[in-house]
Chain A
């Protein structure tokens, strides 16, 4: 039983530190392609970010980080605010 719990904990630990992170950010004010492009460009400048997908219809920006790397809520908020938009929520998988 102890071994199973330990294995589970190790699995969680490894999965959060080795694999890439997916973060869904709800952005307010993102209404056009120029807005989307600005946000995409700003996020891609961040070294931890590998891929950015923008969904204009839902106003959600999905960020994929590089393996073993993470991006903090504070960093996301700073980048999107500096780009001229407002973060409504951040959801992590």
Chain B
């Protein structure tokens, strides 16, 4: 029986799909837990990979395969909008018990060289617990200036996490993003003092 559990952590991955033949490792740590994954994109529309994730509140591990899909993209002269779907299936390990788990979610974003708006959500199911989980996040960002491709591009971003089943339903995290070439790194502190950090490489 595939019952559900609250597993409220999702990947704030800026680009879930890379360029054709691209490999993209990613790691993220937040108040919700720690996630690491690596994906391979055979085309610019889809990415396959593996993910390992630890959810701090649930004391639960997830190890499985993931698929990210880009069904829609709008390229404009100075901006771009995307719609992604993400999914994963694997094994969970929660307080000594192994079970099947998985997730599905979507990302929608729009950005130009100075501003970004991104929304994502995820529903996570774990066969080991009779609970279900949904979480979502909104990001607003502004770049103080437009750096050339060869130089570091800073972004000031505010992320608002909403996890309806959590005791602390809303978390606000201001962060700094530094972006250059194949490297994207983010670091911030939530309004409760929790550290947020993430790194994405693309090669």
Verify B146–A37 contact, CB threshold 8 A. Answer: no
Given contacts A37-B181, A41-B19, A41-B22, is CB(A54)–CB(B149) below 8 Å? yes
Is the beta-carbon distance between A85 and B146 smaller than 8 angstroms? no
Q: How far is the CA of A22 from the CA of B175 in the complex (A)?
A: 41
**Do A55 and B148 touch across chains, with their CB atoms under 8 A apart?**
yes
Query: With an 8 A cutoff between CB atoms, is B139 at the interface?
Result: no
Task: For chain B, give the interface size range.
Answer: 20 to 34
Which chain A residue lies CB-closest to B180?
A33
Query: How many interface residues does A have (CB within 8 Å)?
Result: 25
Contact of B43 with A57 in the complex, beta carbons under 8 Å:
no
| CB nearest neighbor in A for B77 | A28
Q: State the Cβ distance, A18 to closest chain B Cβ, in Å.
A: 31
Q: Mark A22-55, 1 if CB is under 8 A from B, else 0.
A: 0000001111111111110110000000000011
B169, CB-defined interface residue at 8 Å: no
Which A residues from 59 to 93 make CB contacts under 8 A with B? 59, 82-86, 88
B1 at the interface (CB under 8 A from A): no
Give the residues in chain B near A34, CB-CB below 8 Å.
14-15, 18-19, 179, 182, 184, 202
A41, B146: Cα distance in complex, Å: 22
